[in-house]
Amino acid sequence: MTQPILQARGLVKRYGHVVAMDGADFDLYPGEILAVIGDNGAGKSSLIKALSGAVRPDAGEIRFQGQPVQFNSTKEAQRAGIETVYQTLAMSPALSITDNMFMGRELRRPGFAGSVLRMLDWGRMRAFAREKLNELGLMTIQNINQPVETLSGGQRQGIAVARAAAFGSRVIILDEPTAALGVKESQRVLDLIAELKARGLSIVLISHNMPHVFEIADRIHIHRLGKRLCTVRPKNCSMPDVVGLMTGALGPESNPAEVVG
Amino acid sequence: MTSTEKSVSADSFRHGGGRSMLDRVQHALHTNPSLVPLLVLVVSVLVFGILIGPRFFSPLALTLILQQVAIVGIVGAAQSLVIITAGIDLSVGAIMVLSSVIMGQFTFRYGLPPGLSILCGLSAGALFGAINGLLVSIMRLPPFIVTLGMWQILMAANFLYSRNETIRAQDIAAEAPLLHLFAAKQNIAGTDFTLGTIFMLALVLFLAFVLRHTAWGRHVYAVGDDPGAAELSGVNVRGTLISVYAVAGLICALAGWVMIGRIGSVSPNVGQLTNIESITAVVIGGISLFGGRGSIMGTLFGGLIVGVFTLGLRLLGADAQWTYLMIGVLIIVAVGVDQWIRKVTS
C-alpha cells in the first residue's frame, strides 16, 4: 500500500473537562477523496483544526508525506501545501474577492515599489484571482473587486474553494462545504471537488450529507466519541450501516462491510 | 429596515429588472463610505458661504479652520486606525498631552537637547500605545476598558510628573525652538498653512496609501472585519493589533509636538476634549465603529466638517452651543447611515 500523504496517530485535545479528541487516528492517501463523518460533538472539527494548524493537539503525532510535522499556525500548514475551506469560510465580508483570495499571502510589486514601499501588486493579484475563478468555471462573478458580502452563499463557497485550490498544492480540507447551499449550488461544489481530485490533489471532506458523501468519497472515515471508529468504502457499505456506525447503533465488529485502515 | 421591507425590495429588484435609485446610492456608499462626509462638507461650505458671504471664503477663515483641524485631524488619524480594527482608543488625548510634557520637561528639567527630548516623547507615545495593544491582543481585554484605564493612568501621571507646571512659550522660543517646529508658517495664495497643517494632510494621505496598498493595511481591515477569519487566513492578528495601537500612540505623540507649536507653551492642562473630538471626526467621517469599514479620508472630511461648523456658526454670531448641537445631530445621522450601508445585499 502507498504511504499516506497526511497521517495522524493518537491525537488528544482537551478543553477543560471536555475531551474533544481522545487518541484520534487519521490517514489520507494521495489522490483520494476521504469523507470524515461523525455525529455532532464527535470531534471532527477538532481533528480538522489539528490537521490544518488552527489548533495544536495536546498529544499525538501528525505526519505529512511520512515526516513528523508540527503546525503551529494555519500559515505553517499552508506552506506545506495544506489548504482548508472552513465551514465559516474564513472570509472578510467587507473586503473584496481579491483581498480575500490573497489575505495573509499578498503579492508585492517587483523592484523598489515592492521591496521599499511595500506596495501590493493589485494588477497581478486581480489577474490571478480572475484566472483561478475562470479555471473553476466561477466567472458568473463579473467584478473581482466586489465585496464578498454582496455575493450569494454559493458564490462565496466557490471563492473559498477557489482560494484553497489556487494555493493548496497537496491537500485540501473542506468542512461542510455544502451545508449552507441549495441543491444546484451543492452540485456545483461537488463538481469542483471532483475537479480538484482530477488534478491529483488529496481531499478531506467533512459532511453530514450522506448522499453527497456516497457520491464522491473513495473512503469514509467514521469518527465517534473523539476518535476514529473505522474506515469503510462506500462501494461495500450502505448508508444505513454507516449511519448506524456513526451513531453507535452498530459496533464496528458487527459491520457487514469491509473495514479498511 | 424591517425584514419584510427588505424582502419586498429584494423581490421588486428581481422582478422589476433595474435597481432602484436608493439601492444604487447604497451600493455607491458601500464601495466608498467617505462620500457621505464629503457631500456634507461641500453642502455645509456652500450653505455657510451663502449665509455669510465672501468673508467665509477669505484666506483668514481657511487658515483658522485648518489650524483648528490640524490636531484633531492627526489624532483622528490615529483613532481611525484603532476603530478600523473594531477597537476604540480613549487614551489618545492623554498620550498626546503626556508626550508633549515629556518633550518639554526633558528639555527644561534635565537639560537634554530638544531633539533627544522629542525622540523620548515620541518613543513614550509609541510605548503607551504598544501597552494598550498588548493588553487588547494578548490579554484579550476589551479596548474600551483598557484605554479607559490608560487614559486615567496617563492623565494622573501627566499631572504628577509635570507638577502641574506650564513651560512658558517665551522660554521655548528662546531655548528650544525645535519644539515650535510645527508652528512654522508657509503662505500659499494668501492662506497661512502651518507646518502642522501640512503634516496633518501628509499623514492622512500617507496612511490612506498604506491602508490601501500594503499588506499591513489590508490586515488592519481584515482584523476589524472578522478577526477569526483573518487568523484562519494566516494573518498575524495579535501582531497587527499591537502594531496598530503602537502606531496610534506614536501618531498621538506627534500630535503632542504639533500642539506645542499651536499653543506655544507646554501645559499639562490642554487637550481634555481631544478624545471626544477625534472620535467625533472618525464617526462623522463614516468609519464604522464595528470595524473593517471606512476610509481615513473620511476622518479628514469629518474633522473639516466640525471645523466648518464651528467657524461658520461663530461668524454668524450664533451661540457656541449650536455647534455642539449640530455636531451631535451629525454623529447620530452618521451612525444611522453606517447601519444602513452595512445592510447592503447583492
Per the DSSP assignment, residues forming a β-bridge with A138 are none
- Separation between Cα atoms, residue B231 and residue B281, nearest integer Å: 30
Task: Determine the average pLDDT of the residues in B230-240.
Answer: 93
Neighbours of A204 (CB within 10 A): 25
Grid cell of B309 as nine digits: 461648523
> Residue ranges of chain A with pLDDT lower than 50?
261
Q: Does an H or E element contain A215, and which?
A: helix A210-216
Closest by Cβ to A94, choosing from B213, B214, B225 = B225
Percentage of residues of chain A with pLDDT beyond 90: 50
Q: Which 15-54 residues of chain A touch chain B by CB within 8 A? A: 54
User: C-alpha angle with apex A43: A40 to A48, nearest 5 degrees?
Assistant: 115
Closest Cα to residue A219, out of A169, A174, A245, A258?
Answer: A258
Kindly indicate the confidence band of residue B18, based on its pLDDT and cuts at 50, 70 and 90.
low
- Average pLDDT in chain B: 89
Q: Which residues of B touch A166 (CB under 8 A)?
A: none
- Separation between Cα atoms, residue A30 and residue A199, nearest integer Å: 11
With an 8 Å Cβ cutoff, are B230 and A103 in contact?
yes
- Please tell me the total number of residues recorded for chain B in this structure: 346
Those residues of chain B whose CB sits closer than 8 Å to some CB in chain A are 30-31, 213-216, 218-219, 221-222, 225-226, 228-235, 292-293, 344-346
Grid cell of A120 as nine digits: 501590493
Q: Is A85 on the interface with B (CB under 8 A)?
A: no
Grid cell of B10 as nine digits: 429584494
| B243 vs B326, higher pLDDT | B243
- Separation between Cα atoms, residue B6 and residue B177, nearest integer Å: 61
Contact (Cβ atoms closer than 8 angstroms) between residue B24 and residue B9: no
Q: Is A114 on the interface with B (CB under 8 A)?
A: no
Q: pLDDT, tens digit, for every residue of A137-154?
A: 776 766 888 889 888 888
Contacts of B322 (CB under 8 A, 6+ apart): B313
Grid cell of A145 as nine digits: 473587486
B86 to chain A nearest CA, in Å?
13
Kindly report which listed range (A87-96, B18-27, B174-183, B310-319) carries the lowest average pLDDT score: B18-27
Q: pLDDT, tens digit, for every residue of B50-73?
A: 999 888 888 888 888 888 899 999
Kindly indicate the confidence band of residue B4, based on its pLDDT and cuts at 50, 70 and 90.
very low
Contact (Cβ atoms closer than 8 angstroms) between residue A128 and residue A120: no
Closest by Cβ to A152, choosing from B219, B292, B346 = B346
Closest Cα to residue A218, out of A24, A23, A27, A18?
Answer: A27
Helix and strand tally (H, E) in chain A? 9, 11
- Separation between Cα atoms, residue B308 and residue B68, nearest integer Å: 10
With an 8 Å Cβ cutoff, are B218 and A120 in contact?
yes
Q: What interface predicted TM-score (ipTM) does this complex get?
A: 0.87
- Separation between Cα atoms, residue B246 and residue B147, nearest integer Å: 13
Kindly indicate the confidence band of residue B13, based on its pLDDT and cuts at 50, 70 and 90.
very low
Q: What is the DSSP letter of A117?
A: S
Backbone angles phi, psi at A223, to 5 degrees: -105, 135
| B17 vs A54, higher pLDDT | A54
Contact (Cβ atoms closer than 8 angstroms) between residue B77 and residue B203: yes
Closest Cα to residue B39, out of B337, B276, B279, B313?
Answer: B337
The pLDDT value recorded for residue B19 is: 65
- Separation between Cα atoms, residue A155 and residue A98, nearest integer Å: 14
Percentage of residues of chain B with pLDDT beyond 90: 70
Domains and their CATH numbers in chain A: 6-92+203-260 (3.40.50.300)
Contact (Cβ atoms closer than 8 angstroms) between residue B302 and residue B283: yes
Contact (Cβ atoms closer than 8 angstroms) between residue A91 and residue A15: no
Q: Characterize the bridge pairing of strands A219-224 and A33-38.
A: parallel
Q: Which residues of B touch A106 (CB under 8 A)?
A: 215, 218
A42 to chain B nearest CA, in Å?
22
Backbone angles phi, psi at A218, to 5 degrees: -85, -40
- Separation between Cα atoms, residue B262 and residue B285, nearest integer Å: 24
Provide the edge-to-edge strand list for the sheet that holds A67-69.
Answer: A18-28, A6-15, A59-64, A67-69
Biggest alpha carbon distance in chain A? 67
Q: Is A96 on the interface with B (CB under 8 A)?
A: no
Closest by Cβ to B222, choosing from A54, A74, A95 = A95
Q: pLDDT, tens digit, for every residue of B262-311?
A: 999 999 999 888 999 999 999 999 999 999 999 999 999 999 999 999 89
Please state which CATH number belongs to domain B35-47+59-340.
1.10.3470
Contact (Cβ atoms closer than 8 angstroms) between residue A5 and residue A81: no
Q: Is A104 on the interface with B (CB under 8 A)?
A: yes
Q: Which residues of B touch A90 (CB under 8 A)?
A: 228-229, 232-233
Q: pLDDT, tens digit, for every residue of B85-139?
A: 999 999 999 999 999 999 999 999 999 999 999 999 999 999 999 999 999 999 9
Which segments within chain B are labelled E, that is strand? 185-188, 191-194
Name the residue ranges covered by the structural domains of chain B: 35-47+59-340
Q: Which region holds residue B24: left if phi is over 0, alpha if psi is between -120 and 50, else beta?
A: alpha
Mutation target vs A (from B209, B232, B288, B345; most A CBs, 10 A cutoff): B232
Mutation target vs B (from A74, A87, A95; most B CBs, 10 A cutoff): A95
With an 8 Å Cβ cutoff, are B231 and A151 in contact?
no
Kindly indicate the confidence band of residue B259, based on its pLDDT and cuts at 50, 70 and 90.
very high
B316 to chain A nearest CA, in Å?
42
The pLDDT value recorded for residue B50 is: 92
**A176 three-class SS:** coil
The pLDDT value recorded for residue B57 is: 86
Q: Say if residue B1's pLDDT is above 50.
A: no
Neighbours of A87 (CB within 10 A): 15
User: C-alpha angle with apex B116: B111 to B117, nearest 5 degrees?
Assistant: 60
User: C-alpha angle with apex A112: A106 to A115, nearest 5 degrees?
Assistant: 40
Crossing angle of helices B35-52 and B296-315, rounded to 10°? 20
Per the DSSP assignment, residues forming a β-bridge with A108 are A120
Q: Is A167 on the interface with B (CB under 8 A)?
A: no
The pLDDT value recorded for residue B8 is: 37
Neighbours of B331 (CB within 10 A): 15
With an 8 Å Cβ cutoff, are B233 and A118 in contact?
no
With an 8 Å Cβ cutoff, are B292 and A103 in contact?
no
Kindly indicate the confidence band of residue B12, based on its pLDDT and cuts at 50, 70 and 90.
very low
**What are the CA-CA distances from residue B94 to residues A31, B172, B249, B255 (Å)?**
60, 22, 10, 11
Task: Determine the average pLDDT of the residues in B129-150.
Answer: 97
B33: buried, middle or exposed (CB in 10 Å: 19+, 13-18, 0-12)? buried
The pLDDT value recorded for residue B338 is: 83
CA of residue B116 relative to chain centroid, distance = 27
Crossing angle of helices B114-137 and B92-108, rounded to 10°? 150
CB pairs under 8 A between A and B: 82
Q: Which residues of B touch A94 (CB under 8 A)?
A: 221, 225, 292-293
Q: Which residues of A touch B225 (CB under 8 A)?
A: 92-95
Closest by Cβ to B218, choosing from A74, A88, A106 = A106
